[in-house]
Amino acid sequence: MTPAARRWAFLIAGAGLVAFYVWGLTGLPGFGQYPGPYGFILNDVAVGQTKATAVVSAINFEYRGFDTVGEEFILFVAAAGVSTVLRHLRGERDRSTLDEALGRDALPTSDAVRMVALIFIGPTVVIAWYLALHAQTSPSGGFQGGVVLATAFILIYLSGQFLVFKRVSPVAITDAVEAVGAGGFACVGLSAVLLGLPYLTNDLSLGHTPGAIDSSGTIALISFFVGLEVAAAFVLIVGELLEQTLLIRQEDR
Amino acid sequence: MHIFPFLVVVWILAVGLYGVVTSRHLVHQIVCLIVVQSSTYVLLLAVGYVTGAVAPYFYDVPVHTPAVDPVVQALALTDVVVEGAVTALLLAFAIQAHKRFGTLDPQELADLKG
Amino acid sequence: MDQLLALVVVIPLLCAAGVSALTPVFRSHRRALDTVAIAAAACVTVLLVVITVRTAHGPQVYWFAGFRPRHGIAIGIDFAVDPLSAGLASLAALLVTAAMIFSWRYFERVASYFHAMMLTFLAGMVGFCLTGDIFDLFVWFELMGVSAYALTAYRPEERAPIQGALNFAITNSIGAYLWLSGIGLIYGRTGALNMAQIGQYLIRHRNTPSSLVVVAFVLILMALLIKSAIVPFHFWLADAHAVAPTPVCVLFSGVMVELGLYGIARIYWSMFGAGLGHRTVIAHLFLVLGLLTAVVGALFCFRERHIKRLLAFSTISHAGMFLVGLSWLTPLGLAGAAVYVLGHGLVKAALFLCVGIVLHRLRSVNETWLHGRGRRLPVTGVVFTLAALGLADLPPFATYLGKGWIEDTSSAHGMTWVIALLVVVVLGAVFVGSKLWHSMFGSDDDYTGTGKRDIVIQIQAGDSTTMVGETLHNQGVVATVRAFVNAAHGNSKINSIQPGYYRMRTEIPAANAVERLADPNSRVGRLVIPEGRQLDDTTDMKTNVVTPGILTLISRSTCVDLDGDRRCVAADDLRAAATNSTTTALSVPPWAIQPVTELGNDHRRIEGLIAPGTFNVDPSAAPQDILANLISAGAVEYMQSGLVDTAQNMKLSPYDILVVASLVQQESKSQDFPKVAQVIYNRLNAHHTLEFDSTVNYPLDRREVATSDADRAQKTAWNTYVSQGLPATAICSPGVDALRAAEHPEPGDWLYFVTIDAMGTTLFTKDYKQHLANIELAKHNGVLDSTPR
């Protein structure tokens, strides 16, 4: 199909889809008039039941925690897929990182950039863990914390030191951390099964004050594992993609 | 008036789909896919909004204050992660296509199929 | 509550994570890895069968995290299992186990990723079958999908483009996003995510019909139709099959597509069915789509040659039939479809595995084995035959039973013409089976006669005899791969065949094909570019002999005689392409883009970029592409000789060095190259005009030792008598020696040189007076002798 024909075919079909969709949207109860009941019930009971003040996190890690398990493994399998696809391109032989990037990169990084990046890494890591561990309190949680933690590693790359980035995040260890994160989450749920309760029941102490650091039982623990997994997955993915870019530049194709 | 935010959803979806269908560059096509996904976020979050309500975090506010729907926010969080995963995988495919066939044009790749 | 329900999803997930975490341990214990993975899958299969049996007493419900519904409103996620869902999940687990056992010998390398991905695929499928929550359904759908995309691209078996995996991923992802939109809509109205609860809401409110419900249903339906490869969303399946490894294809055809249809049944019956209304419209929609798919799938089978694509289209056709079974919206129709799915899943899996075995053996085995091969795979042959019979829906296979029930339902609804169409589909299936059988196990199927028409085929570097056979088979030259491989057995010429383009005929006997391939006259597109040629033809002024230029050589190499029609790419077309195409279209390397663009619209701008050497040119390619390929090959050559690095060290641009090399090539013989190069650099540094006759002769397309005064005074972009510095472009394609000389000139301070005798002795000097004396010597020896004009 020629590009022009494809464009026209899409415009016609697309117009139909849009009209159809808009027709469906008219059935919605208007912006700002959410009818409930799911959201309202959870807003009412969540704090009491889980001792977590961040209801969204409670939903993610407790009420609908099983969804989150699935989603964690989606990320896991995507990282695995990226690794497989890109490693095949490199060939299976073990290449030392030295001959991949040594001496070929055009510009040496300025010291100013490196300093700034270094200064930021520390706070980034701290913020990341702060976010990951406060899932039950505030709009943070494992995902957010994990992504920020991955950023800390990427900062190293951004300061022009790809080699160092690879050295602090060797593939085997990152793989293992990611698997521990995902598996750890699944195991937390399993602990409930071993106690005869349904999978993922909150079987740790719920603490006294809602929203305190030690409250909400498994929510905090799950959030920690999720943070690990997300961070490792993103470091892995970004690392693989970057390695490919450098290699492509190497071979000058 | 009550439907305008939802029209934004449709617009984003249409624009993204147009991009995917007519794209001549794989990375562009993948990003258009992200745009299509964004329309679902807007839909979910718009659907859960309650006029005059607060965010569903009860650290500073008393527990039974009317709050917006937290469920859609949780769903949107899940979707973001899923989308990130799929995008990463697609980009890896794009790199493989470039390496093997020297082209990132979806039409050319289709012709190569033979 | 039955904890098994949670375990069947958690076990494969945990196993996947564990296998991945322990990769270093498994690296040396590959068998252990396989065993663990197979054990996990087998365990899940057994558990699911147990669950299926238990659900015979009534549906089972399991609430995760202990959150049971309050006042009829679900606040957690549940698994709601009935015999259909559990049965389908068992089929999925069984096929995964089979696929993993098959992979035991199939992949030649340790790969813990493969096992992890298969296990997550399994978890996704099981979760999809068992869940009762629409968003959870979506999550497992996505897990299934992402695992599938990753597995498709896992180890592309053939040279098929990654396009298959991309197409698969993009199409299914769009489906997923449509699904999410549907969820958003339905949640916005009902405020629930539990399918049963939504169903109840819709029933309660069925008297206030809403466009929203229809749209939400259609959006979710579209996603599932895409997954089930129903027309018009079926295109991705064949592409994915062509790319994915065989064990993965087993799962795609055997159960993944069927899960899409299960999804449709589920959302219809659990959520929308009663509340949506429009029952006849929906039934007819499914019926039409199903029949269309069944027929289209069967028709495509007839024209497909690629074995796995053939099986893919057969799956599409069967998927259509399953949908027809569903469309009656009755229990018998559903039951018929379910049994049919079960039978088809197992049969299709068996077929794929047999095909995989045969392909695997053919590839990794050398020719001497092939003689006894038919006898060596007797079990495969028998299983294959049985499976093919099952695919054709013959008794006593389950497929016969299932289809029979569907047909019964059809006739009960007075639609006997449906049965007629289904017969067409069966014929298609029979055709598929027999075609496969012949190409795998059948007697030597060979063409006879002299063939139909001429074509050009390409042999790529590294192709084994079998791959050559496959190329020939795909292009219609030989009837079966096997025939060709047998005929080529022991032929040393075929074993050592060069990559390139060959002229063949379609539909010829295999022995004939072998002969043609071995015949050097069949080779086309062979281009040899000697060193020192320029783009245009040049005439020697003394002898009037025309030396063909590179463009003429290219043109000649593209000449192919097809069916009496001699077709070449004209040199003028090449010249036009060189003049008008953009630098990107011509693949001009980055270090040459500026000089090339500066010269503007003159075909000479690409002079020197095509390196000397031997090339294979595609006779059917466009002139621009031919040039582009040669230029990029040239760029690689130059790069490998160190052009860019030397340029950096000498503080010149790589293009300049190329130009210097071309001058060196034209101005002297190879023993003097390094010295001449040094002369050039010395003169450039001294801001001396180079004064090379070759630069005067270049635009005049001639070769001569000395030039007339009138010529030398002419200002052209190349004339180094008039212009300072290097000519605008290279003046020929320099050979390796000239390049090396330009990169590593011999140290010295000479500024002049002249050849003094017929043997090519050249004298170099710094002193102008000495140079004049040398010229006299040359004239005395009769070397410098041009007729004054």
Lowest-confidence pick of C33-37, C48-52, C138-142, C635-639: C635-639
Closest residue to B71, CB basis, from A38, A53, A244: A38
- Reduced to 3 states (helix: H, G, I; strand: E, B; else coil), residue C528 is strand
Looking at the DSSP bridge assignments, the partners of residue C567 are C560
C-alpha dihedral sign at C676, C682, C684, C688: negative
Given its phi and psi angles, is residue C613 left (phi above 0), alpha (psi -120 to 50 degrees) or beta? left
pLDDT of residue C101: 87
The secondary structure element, H or E, covering residue C614 is strand C613-616
| One domain for residues C215 and C319 | no
Range of the domain at B35: 4-112
Query: CA nearest C276: which of C189, C351, C348?
Result: C189
CA distance A40 to C358: 60
| One domain for residues C35 and C134 | yes
Q: Does C639 touch chain A (CB under 8 A)?
A: yes
CA distance C400 to C340: 8
Closest residue to B57, CB basis, from A11, A33, A55: A55
Count of domains observed in chain A? 1
- Average pLDDT for chain A: 81
Range of the domain at C563: 528-639
In a domain, A26, yes or no: no
Q: Residues A191-202: pLDDT tens digits?
A: 888 888 888 888
- Specify the higher pLDDT residue, C604 or C357: C604
- Specify the higher pLDDT residue, C361 or C40: C40
Interfacial A residues in 185-244 facing B (CB < 8 Å):
210-211, 230, 233-234, 237, 240-241, 244
pLDDT at C461 over 90: no
Q: What are the structure tokens assigned to C436, written together?
A: 């496969």
C-beta atoms of B85 and A78 within 8 A: yes
In a domain, C243, yes or no: no
The mean pLDDT of C403-412, rounded to a whole number, is 70
**From the candidates B47, B77, B112, which should be mutated to test the interface with C, based on the most C CB atoms within 10 A?**
B47
First to last CA, chain B: 52
C-beta atoms of B81 and A74 within 8 A: yes
Interfacial B residues in 46-75 facing A (CB < 8 Å):
46-52, 55-59, 63-64, 66-74
Residue of chain B whose Cα is closest to the Cα of C168: B90
In a domain, C422, yes or no: yes
pLDDT at C396 over 90: no
Lowest-confidence pick of A195-204, C178-187, C609-618: A195-204
CA distance A24 to C218: 10
Q: Which amino acid is at C589?
A: P
The mean pLDDT of C604-616, rounded to a whole number, is 86
Cβ–Cβ under 8 Å, residues C297 and C316: yes
pLDDT of residue C555: 87
In a domain, C244, yes or no: no
pLDDT of residue C160: 57
CA distance C266 to C130: 10
Q: Residues C286-299: pLDDT tens digits?
A: 888 888 888 888 88
In a domain, A30, yes or no: no
pLDDT at C367 over 70: no
Count of domains observed in chain B? 1
pLDDT at C126 over 90: yes
pLDDT of residue C413: 65
The secondary structure element, H or E, covering residue C225 is helix C211-227
Q: Residues C738-753: pLDDT tens digits?
A: 888 888 888 888 888 8
Q: How confident is the model at residue C412 (pLDDT cuts 50, 70, 90)?
A: low
The mean pLDDT of B20-40, rounded to a whole number, is 92
- Reduced to 3 states (helix: H, G, I; strand: E, B; else coil), residue B34 is helix
In a domain, C246, yes or no: no
Q: How confident is the model at residue C607 (pLDDT cuts 50, 70, 90)?
A: confident
In a domain, C196, yes or no: yes
CA distance C654 to C639: 9
CA distance C173 to C170: 5
- Residue ranges of the alpha helices (H) in C613-653? 623-640, 643-650
The mean pLDDT of B25-44, rounded to a whole number, is 93
The secondary structure element, H or E, covering residue C540 is strand C538-540
Cα angle at C740 between C737 and C744, to 5 degrees? 140
- Average pLDDT for chain C: 81
Q: How confident is the model at residue C119 (pLDDT cuts 50, 70, 90)?
A: very high
Of the three residues C524, C551, C582, the one that is the final residue of a domain is C524
C-beta atoms of C212 and A74 within 8 A: no
Å from B77 to nearest chain C CA?
12
Q: What are the structure tokens assigned to C223, written together?
A: 């996603």
Strands C762-765 and C526-529: unpaired
Q: How confident is the model at residue A93 (pLDDT cuts 50, 70, 90)?
A: very low
Burial call A117-147: b when 16+ CB within 10 Å, e when fewer: beeebeebbebbeebbbbbbbbbbbbbbbbb
Q: What are the structure tokens assigned to B2, written together?
A: 């009550």
The mean pLDDT of C301-329, rounded to a whole number, is 79
Q: Residues C427-438: pLDDT tens digits?
A: 767 776 676 666
pLDDT at B71 over 50: yes
Range of the domain at A126: 36-251
Q: Does A151 touch chain B (CB under 8 A)?
A: no
In a domain, C312, yes or no: yes
Å from C140 to nearest chain A CA?
7
Given its phi and psi angles, is residue C787 left (phi above 0), alpha (psi -120 to 50 degrees) or beta? beta
Closest residue to C174, CB basis, from B36, B96, B100: B36
Q: Residues C196-255: pLDDT tens digits?
A: 888 888 888 877 777 888 889 999 999 999 988 888 888 888 888 877 888 888 888 888
CA distance A149 to A151: 5
Q: Residues A39-66: pLDDT tens digits?
A: 888 888 888 888 888 899 989 998 999 9
In a domain, A146, yes or no: yes
CB contact set of C148 (below 8 Å; sequence gap of 6+): C121, C168, C172, C240, C248, C251, C252, C256
CB contact set of C238 (below 8 Å; sequence gap of 6+): C300, C304, C309, C312, C313, C316
C-beta atoms of A38 and C136 within 8 A: no
Q: Residues C577-604: pLDDT tens digits?
A: 888 888 888 888 888 888 888 888 888 8
Q: Does C760 touch chain B (CB under 8 A)?
A: no
The DSSP symbol for C462 reads T
Query: CA nearest C777: which of C765, C787, C788?
Result: C765
C-alpha dihedral sign at C501, C502, C503, C508: negative
Q: Tell me how long chain C is.
A: 789
CA distance A65 to A226: 11
Q: Residues C23-58: pLDDT tens digits?
A: 877 777 777 888 888 999 999 999 999 988 888 888
Q: Residues A228-241: pLDDT tens digits?
A: 999 999 999 998 88
| One domain for residues C63 and C195 | yes
pLDDT of residue B77: 92
In a domain, A166, yes or no: yes
Is the complex ipTM higher than 0.85? yes
Residue of chain B whose Cα is closest to the Cα of C153: B93
pLDDT of residue C591: 84
| One domain for residues C283 and C415 | yes
Q: Does the predicted TM-score (pTM) go above 0.90?
A: no
Count of domains observed in chain C? 5
B-chain CB neighbours of C146 within 8 Å are 82, 85-86, 89
Q: B: neighbours with 3+ CB pairs under 8 Å?
A: A, C
Lowest-confidence pick of B21-35, C256-270, C379-393, C598-612: C379-393
> Virtual CA dihedral for C745, C749, C753, C755, nearest 10 degrees?
-60
In a domain, A55, yes or no: yes
pLDDT at C673 over 70: yes
Q: Does A8 touch chain B (CB under 8 A)?
A: no
CA distance B37 to A157: 29
The mean pLDDT of A96-122, rounded to a whole number, is 67
Cβ–Cβ under 8 Å, residues C228 and C292: no
- Specify the higher pLDDT residue, B97 or A144: A144
pLDDT at A34 over 90: no
Residue reference for tokens 């895409």? C226
- Reduced to 3 states (helix: H, G, I; strand: E, B; else coil), residue C547 is strand
Q: Does C63 touch chain A (CB under 8 A)?
A: yes
Classify residue C114 by burial, with Cβ atoms within 10 Å: 0-12, 13-18, 19+.
buried
The mean pLDDT of A73-88, rounded to a whole number, is 87
Interfacial C residues in 150-209 facing B (CB < 8 Å):
150, 153, 160-166, 169-170, 173-174, 177, 180-181, 183-185, 187-188, 193
Q: Does B7 touch chain A (CB under 8 A)?
A: yes
pLDDT of residue C346: 80
